[in-house]
Amino acid sequence: MFVFSKGKPKTFNPIMKKNITAGSVRFSRKFRNKEGKMISSFNGEPIKEEGIENNIWVIKNGMFKSTKDLIAFNHPAIFPEELVQKHIFSWSNENDLVYDPFMGSGTTAKVSIQMKRNFFGSEISKDYYDISMERIKLIEQILI
């Protein structure tokens, strides 16, 4: 997925993961810098409890994995909710505005509402618009 920003992004909330080697100290390694000089990468500090998750995500998709909303599967290509959650968390804060230019089945709208973001979207297909509105109404009923 692409994230576009004019200049430096206003918000970045990195997704953190638990480091399995937390507390241990890395061995000293040497590498060659741009000038060709050998330098040590050892800083002597223990590995932190958490680190930033890498940018390759393994996300389940398909029936009952992408979402539990059966209505969403009337769209041929739904986004997994976990994918949307990670992006909304990373690039926005509560009460920020999230825009989806290709709304489809409304996954981004649904997750935005769940995560307390404001949302608006565009969709050219009346059928897909109807699916997304049904999903939005369901999530709003749950949250009330």
Record the pTM.
Answer: 0.78
Residues 6+ apart with CB under 8 A from 4: none
Sketch out the chain's domains with CATH numbers. Answer: 15-54 (no CATH), 70-143 (3.40.50.150)
Block residue for tokens 């040497």 = 30
What is the total residue count of the chain?
Answer: 144
66-76: per-residue pLDDT in tens?
998 889 999 99
Q: What is the pLDDT of residue 144?
A: 63
> Looking at residues 48-58, what average pLDDT do you find?
89
Contacts of 44 (CB under 8 A, 6+ apart): 25
From the list 99, 119, 56, 125, the residue with the least C-alpha distance to 139 is 119
